[in-house]
């Protein structure tokens, strides 16, 4: 069976020095361990008038995740 990695992109609010550190060391798609408060935004779609929901995180702390490349399976 082939191992398949799933990716999930989540909007994260990070401020000041923390945001600067992350922007220097990470690119979109890089793995990162986050801790923070979940927040849910709710709004009404202007076209369909349906409620829309978006889940995000307000960052409290983070850790680097080191990927093992070319490691034997």
One DSSP character per residue, the chain reads: ----------EEE--HHHHHHHHHH--TT--EEEEEEEEEEEEE-TTT--EEEEEEEEEEEEEE-----S---
Residue of 55, 50, 3 whose CA lies nearest to 34: 55
pTM: 0.63
CB 37 within 8 A of CB 64: no
**For residue range 30-69, what is the model confidence (pLDDT) as tens digits?**
888 999 999 999 999 999 999 999 999 999 999 988 765 5
CATH of 11-64, one of 3.10.180.10, 2.40.50.140, 3.40.190.10, 2.60.120.10: 2.40.50.140
Say what the pLDDT of residue 2 is.
84
Tell me the percentage of the chain whose pLDDT exceeds 90. 52
Domain positions in the chain are 11-64
pLDDT at position 70, please? 53
Q: Does the pLDDT at position 8 exceed 80?
A: no
């Amino acid at each position: 069976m082939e191992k398949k990695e799933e990716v999930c992109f989540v909007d994260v609010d990070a401020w000041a020095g923390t945001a600067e550190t992350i922007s220097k060391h990470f690119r979109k798609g890089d793995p990162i361990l986050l801790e923070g408060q979940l927040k849910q935004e709710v709004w009404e779609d202007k076209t369909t008038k349906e409620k829309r929901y978006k889940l995000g995180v307000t960052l409290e702390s983070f850790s680097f995740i080191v990927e093992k490349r070319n490691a034997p399976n």
